[in-house]
């Protein structure tokens, strides 16, 4: 190997090792961030708001207990929701609280009929409710279907579109109803946060790759020096 090739090989190897170490350190920093995030999530779930006007700017995952009236004439069926391999819907109703705010409440999953043209039979739910659950932000735009017979079937979440269709003003959050509520269906929503252990596992993999490359290079150099002797 010529001197130039040796220098190039060394620089390439060092560059790869630095990249792998940097990736490992980045994953460790992500693990630390997730640890802080999970602690914050736990604190939020233990904080209860009884009025939507008291919510902070970022109200995700805070717990609420609200009294109010459901609009049972405006059920919204969030389409294409899977549970144990079966297609269904998540049933939402607008709730008008005692303070006058309106917010969507997700009552949970119910199975879709085999015929696509049919809508599921809705459970009997009392209009007067005391609701408890966690707040989430719509992850996508909620859009009511265009055809009249599909009015209650929705594909995505768009608060403004619902406001236009129903003539209301919704708070831009959804209450994910607690599974212990007597009217809750199958509650399949969960806060989605990757645990820090996965990031630690990724970091270990990057560091292991760096060590493996170091080992390969050292063995190659030792063998080359042994042959020269």
Instruction: Clarify whether residues 86 and 155 are in a common domain.
Output: yes
**Of 164 and 45, more confident:** 164
Asked if residue 34 belongs to a domain, the reply is yes
Question: Both tokens of residue 40?
Answer: 């914050």
Q: Ranked by mean pLDDT, which of 23-37, 64-78, 133-147 comes out on top?
A: 64-78
Q: 3-45 vs 196-228: helix axis angle to the nearest 10?
A: 160
Confidence of residue 149 (pLDDT cuts 50, 70, 90): very low
Instruction: Clarify whether residues 171 and 221 are in a common domain.
Output: no
Entry pTM: 0.67
d(CA 212, CA 22): 16
Q: Is residue 140 scored above 60 in pLDDT?
A: no
Asked if residue 11 belongs to a domain, the reply is no
Q: Per residue in 17-36, pLDDT tens? A: 888 888 888 887 877 777 76
d(CA 17, CA 68): 60
Instruction: Clarify whether residues 135 and 222 are in a common domain.
Output: no
Instruction: Clarify whether residues 170 and 219 are in a common domain.
Output: no
Q: Per residue in 93-118, pLDDT tens? A: 999 999 999 999 999 999 999 888 88
Instruction: Clarify whether residues 101 and 167 are in a common domain.
Output: yes
Instruction: Clarify whether residues 144 and 213 are in a common domain.
Output: no
Instruction: Clarify whether residues 24 and 100 are in a common domain.
Output: no
Asked if residue 70 belongs to a domain, the reply is yes
Instruction: Clarify whether residues 100 and 26 are in a common domain.
Output: no
Q: Is 5 left (phi over 0), alpha (psi -120 to 50) or beta?
A: alpha
Asked if residue 185 belongs to a domain, the reply is no
Instruction: Clarify whether residues 153 and 67 are in a common domain.
Output: yes
Q: Which domain holds residue 85?
A: 62-177
String of DSSP letters for the chain: --HHHHHHHHHHHHHHHHHHHHHHHHHHHHHHHHHHHHHHHHHHHT-EES-GGG--S--TT-EEEEEEEE-TT--EEEEEEEETTEEEEEEEEEEEETTS-EEEEEEEEEEPPSSTTPPPPPPP--SEEEEEEEEE--SS-B-B-SSGGGTTEESSB-HHHHHHHHT--EEEEEEEE-TTSTT--B---------HHHHHHHHHHHHHHHHHHHHHHHHHHHHHHHHH-
**Of 97 and 225, more confident:** 97
Quote the mean pLDDT of the chain: 83
Asked if residue 122 belongs to a domain, the reply is yes
Q: Is residue 3 scored above 70 in pLDDT?
A: no
Q: Is residue 215 scored above 60 in pLDDT?
A: yes
- Residue 147 is predicted with a pLDDT of 46
Asked if residue 78 belongs to a domain, the reply is yes
- Residue 146 is predicted with a pLDDT of 47
Instruction: Clarify whether residues 89 and 163 are in a common domain.
Output: yes
Asked if residue 7 belongs to a domain, the reply is no
Number of domains in the chain: 2
Instruction: Clarify whether residues 173 and 223 are in a common domain.
Output: no
Query: Which of 54-58, 96-100, 108-112, 167-171 is the least confident region?
Result: 54-58
- Residue 40 is predicted with a pLDDT of 67
Instruction: Clarify whether residues 168 and 210 are in a common domain.
Output: no
Asked if residue 113 belongs to a domain, the reply is yes
């Amino acid at each position: 190997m010529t001197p130039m090739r040796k220098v190039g090989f060394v620089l390439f190897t060092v560059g790869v090792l630095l990249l792998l170490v940097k990736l490992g350190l980045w994953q460790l920093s992500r693990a630390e961030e997730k640890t802080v995030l999970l602690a914050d999530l736990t604190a939020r779930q233990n904080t209860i708001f009884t009025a939507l006007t008291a919510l902070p700017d970022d109200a995700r995952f805070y717990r609420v207990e609200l009294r109010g009236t459901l609009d049972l004439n405006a059920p919204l069926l969030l389409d294409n929701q899977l549970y144990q391999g079966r297609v269904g819907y998540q049933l939402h109703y607008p709730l008008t609280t005692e303070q006058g705010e309106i917010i969507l409440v997700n009552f949970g999953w119910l199975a879709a009929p085999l015929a696509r043209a049919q809508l599921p039979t809705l459970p009997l739910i009392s209009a007067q409710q005391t609701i408890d659950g966690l707040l989430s932000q719509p992850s996508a735009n909620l859009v009511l279907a265009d055809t009249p017979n599909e009015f209650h079937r929705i594909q995505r979440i768009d608060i403004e579109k619902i406001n236009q269709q129903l003539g209301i003003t919704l708070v831009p959050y959804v209450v994910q109803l607690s599974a212990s509520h007597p009217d809750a269906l199958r509650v399949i929503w969960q806060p989605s946060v990757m645990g820090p252990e996965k990031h630690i596992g990724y970091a270990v993999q990057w560091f292991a790759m760096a060590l493996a490359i170091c080992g390969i290079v050292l063995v190659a150099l030792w063998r080359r020096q042994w042959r020269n002797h």
